[in-house]
Amino acid sequence: MWENIFQAVDDLFDEMVQIRRHLHQYPELSFQEEKTAQFIADYYEKLGIPYQTKIGGYGVIAKLNGGKPGKTVALRADFDALPIQEENDVTYKSKVPGVMHACGHDGHTAALLGLAKAVLPFQEQLPGTIVFIHQPAEEYAPGGAKPMIEAGVLEDVDAVFGTHLWTDTPLGVLHTSKGNFMAGADRFEIKIKGKGGHGAKPHQTKDAIVITSQLVTQLQQILSRRIDPLKTGVITVGTFEAGQAFNIIADSAKLVGTVRTFDTDVQNEIIDQMKKIVESVCIPYEANHDFNYFKGYPPVVNHPKEAEMILKDGKKVPGIDNTEEIEPSMTGEDFAYYLLEKPGAFYFTGAQKERDNYPHHHPKFDFDERALPLDAKTLLQAFRSYQEEH
């Protein structure tokens, strides 16, 4: 049966590409994915697989009960896009100005839908139950995973698995880790209020740009001088907003950035040190400040047994040449919330292009579409392996 389903997935390659390209042309931002959710629901309606909509927002879930006893395993795909203007010159280029599927979520959705269609004819032979989780709003905290979990998508679920099409990983390769896999992702905002004035009379001002520039450099010293070198973290300033003209000293400035950690103690130490640095830098200038820190997604921590299962049995999937355990990534993912509730694992499915391979969240991001059936088949193998081991 399993080999027949693998073949059925491969036979649906053209349809998965068609779905992916349709979604790519009509992307929707986090918490705004009404039409995408309807597309997913309509697909399950045509298949005749029972589904539910508006789960924790625009979430959609579908359940396929096998004809044989077994465990209930959830498989998750996300479907939101990013506020990026696409620069690719392709026939399926985004038709929505300033919005783009620049992370592969259109592919995740196409693969999971394709898997549902491939498995359906084998329903009576299938052990246990597959829960297809289509999740909105992965890209922007508080994310879509947590409200879907709160709405009950993991009730009666024994294990949960997910994968991310990854352009850093070669086609035909799976990457994961047994334990820490992706970092916790937080966001901060720092606003400095000084005193503006004429560019020729700096002594009469409190230059917000000078003050805030000191913050940018001193924040990096938290990691180099305050955190145990054997532990890890990232502090990145993503935006620096200040000034209106070349001859005016800015009276205010704003920094927005992200902090990535795996360890709660490291996270708390960074927050404490950031507060102290902001205060100490502002004191000699008699400037005011506003510091806001938003804790985002927790780290993605795979369950060792389930991650080992991916590494061991992933090689059984036709088209997968190798599986490798890798060092954790500092990127973040709200799949973390599922793993806090149930056993499971998250992994990367290689989707690296042979030419013009751009990173995730880049205006020219794209992936090798031959990875679509591999995405679907590795999720099927995770379901199969879990059934066989339990």
Instruction: Give the whole-angstrom CA distance, residue 242 versus residue 240.
Output: 7
Mean pLDDT over 8-28 rounds to 98
Q: Give the active site residues.
A: 80, 138
| Residue 360: both structure tokens together | 């995730």
User: Do 21 and 108 fall within a single domain?
Assistant: yes
Please report, for the domain that includes residue 275, its CATH number.
3.30.70.360
Q: Is 282 annotated as a binding-site member?
A: no
**The domain boundary residue, chosen from 276, 297, 318:** 297
Is residue 119 very low, low, confident or very high in pLDDT (cuts 50, 70, 90)?
very high
Tens of pLDDT, residue by residue over 42-71, are 999 999 999 999 999 999 999 999 999 999
Q: Residue 122: is it exposed, middle or buried by C-beta count within 10 angstroms (0-12/13-18/19+)? A: middle
Give the pTM.
0.93
Please report, for the domain that includes residue 321, its CATH number.
3.40.630.10
Number of domains in the chain: 2
| Residue 288: both structure tokens together | 């005011």
Domain containing 338 equals 2-182+299-389
Contacts of 317 by beta carbon, 8 Å cutoff, 6+ apart: 6, 374, 377, 378, 381
Q: Is 303 annotated as a binding-site member?
A: no
Mean pLDDT over 278-297 rounds to 97
Q: Is 28 annotated as a binding-site member?
A: no
Is residue 276 very low, low, confident or very high in pLDDT (cuts 50, 70, 90)?
very high
Tens of pLDDT, residue by residue over 364-387, are 999 999 999 999 999 999 999 999
User: Do 237 and 369 fall within a single domain?
Assistant: no
User: Do 303 and 381 fall within a single domain?
Assistant: yes
What pLDDT does 75 receive?
A: 99
Phi-psi region of 42 (alpha: psi -120 to 50; beta: other; left: phi over 0): alpha
Average pLDDT, the chain: 97
User: Do 293 and 303 fall within a single domain?
Assistant: no
Q: Residue 96: is it exposed, middle or buried by C-beta count within 10 angstroms (0-12/13-18/19+)? A: middle
